[in-house]
Amino acid sequence: MKKTIALLVVFFSFTSILLWSSCSGQVKENNKTEANTQTKKIIGGGCDGCELMYEGMPKNISSVDTSDGWFEPGEKLLVTGIVLNLDGKTPAKDVVIYYWQTDNNGYYSPSKDMNKNAIRHGHIRGWVKSDAQGRYSIYTIRPMPYPNDNIPAHIHISIKEPGLANEYYTDDLVFDDDKKLTSEERKKLPNRGGSGILRPVKINGMQVAEHNFIVGLNIPDYPSPKISGIRSGLQVGEDNPSFIPYHAWGPDKGTRTCPVCKYGRYQGILYFVGEKESREDIENWLSFLEQQSIERDRYLKAYFVYGNENDFSKTKRQAELEKIGQKLNIHKMALTYVPSFNDQETEVFLNKVNPAASNTIVIYRNSNIIANYVNLKPTIENFNELTSFLDKTKSAYADYAANKPD
């Protein structure tokens, strides 16, 4: 009996060391990134531990992987989605995604037959490679948080793209319904490769989370292509921030309602306009967005966010938008306004809208940005493009209930 107890003490001491070392690499990296990028120009700044993705890596990697954890105690989890290039539109094929995570007790526990060089990552680890359409799927269990720690439960990710010299890490995958994912913890997420916040739904006793990786997004020293033209709004892959515009017309008229907080579950469109857009173009866009809102019903919420700061007054802006709402017979979409796109009180500044743009059209799904258009004219061709995009990106899991915090 004494020998058994001694073995258990050794085991848990060892796994505690594993727990610490598996997360310490990225913390260390944050302290040395600047020095590394100035000397070696390592893509992503380097990562203590990410190189272990090559230990035991199979020669042939599928776009679908089932971890050892799937067959162990724990809540079954499917993480699935698309790997996209930096434009947020084009699928990126043959990208290797390496993942490692804790077990159902919160430890990076080893197994007898695992690769000894990667033992500090634990036995719940694996690889997927994006297919020709950029798709991947990981079947595993939901990781448990570290015992006696306030760090949210997470899955570590390291990515290796074909043609790049080294691997780099992205945001850890964390869970929106995790009580340990506080507002302060959310602010720490750097959106490397896109926001790592998963929003799982429950399907037949399994949790399913859609997640798209955007290769190179917010990765230091990534060989990014030059982007021409004006830029406005947050990038594809980032989470839509909460903000509280004034609702002048529509379902929430007379309130200060956050579009993403209240209606972020399905698809959403934010149509930002300052002083550059003509009234005719505004009305054409609003008529199109209202029609889409009617046809798609609860699966789409559309918002006009007017940020024209010229001669601004709440009374004048309210009356102006009411007049437009009545003229166009708008019932489904919301007509809202803010004093300017740099306004702090409404927190609209978090959307990073460029006032010099005629318009900025952001499409999000499940609170995550999936498209960004700047200076888009209200033509039949562009209407068709947006309609097609909404059709293609409607979630297959939209009708399932989202997880709620315990």
Residue 280: give its domain's CATH number.
3.40.30.10
What is the separation, in whole angstroms, between the first and last Cα of the chain?
Answer: 37
Residue 9 domain-assigned (yes or no)? no
Residue 7 domain-assigned (yes or no)? no
Element (H, E) at 393: helix 380-393
Residues 174 and 258 in one domain: no
Measured CA to CA, the distance from residue 99 to residue 122 in angstroms comes to 11
Residue 6 domain-assigned (yes or no)? no
Residues 194 and 310 in one domain: no
Q: Is 49 left (phi over 0), alpha (psi -120 to 50) or beta?
A: left
Residue 221 domain-assigned (yes or no)? no
Show pLDDT as tens, one digit a residue, over the chain (406 residues).
444 444 344 444 444 445 544 554 454 444 444 444 344 689 999 988 899 999 999 999 999 999 999 999 999 999 999 999 999 999 999 999 999 999 999 999 999 889 999 999 999 999 999 999 999 999 999 999 999 899 999 999 999 999 999 999 999 999 999 999 999 999 889 999 999 999 999 999 899 999 999 999 999 999 977 777 899 999 999 999 999 999 999 999 999 999 998 887 899 999 999 999 999 999 999 999 999 999 999 999 999 999 999 989 999 999 999 999 999 999 999 999 999 999 999 999 999 999 999 999 999 999 999 999 999 999 999 999 999 999 999 998 888 877 776 5
Give the single-character DSSP code of 121: G
Residues 181 and 279 in one domain: no
- Domain that residue 250 falls in: 246-393
* 371, amino acid identity: A
- Rg (the chain; Cα; Å): 23
Which residues, including other chains, have CB under 8 Å from residue 399's CB and lie 6 or more apart?
none
Residues 125 and 206 in one domain: yes
CATH of the domain at 129: 2.60.130.10
Residues 146 and 283 in one domain: no
Measured CA to CA, the distance from residue 165 to residue 76 in angstroms comes to 35
Residue 195 domain-assigned (yes or no)? yes
Residue 337 domain-assigned (yes or no)? yes
Residues 209 and 277 in one domain: no
Residues 113 and 186 in one domain: yes
Which residues, including other chains, have CB under 8 Å from residue 239's CB and lie 6 or more apart?
191, 195, 197, 367, 368, 369
Q: What b/e readout covers 299-317, taking b as 16+ CB neighbours within 10 angstroms?
A: bbbbbbbbbbeeeeeeeeb
Residue 13 domain-assigned (yes or no)? no
Residue 292 domain-assigned (yes or no)? yes
Residues 46 and 192 in one domain: yes
Element (H, E) at 93: none
Residues 63 and 136 in one domain: yes
Which residues, including other chains, have CB under 8 Å from residue 146's CB and lie 6 or more apart?
19, 102, 106, 107
Residues 83 and 207 in one domain: yes
Residues 180 and 105 in one domain: yes
Residue 47 φ then ψ, to 5° = -160, 120
Residues 140 and 189 in one domain: yes
Q: How many domains does the chain have?
A: 2
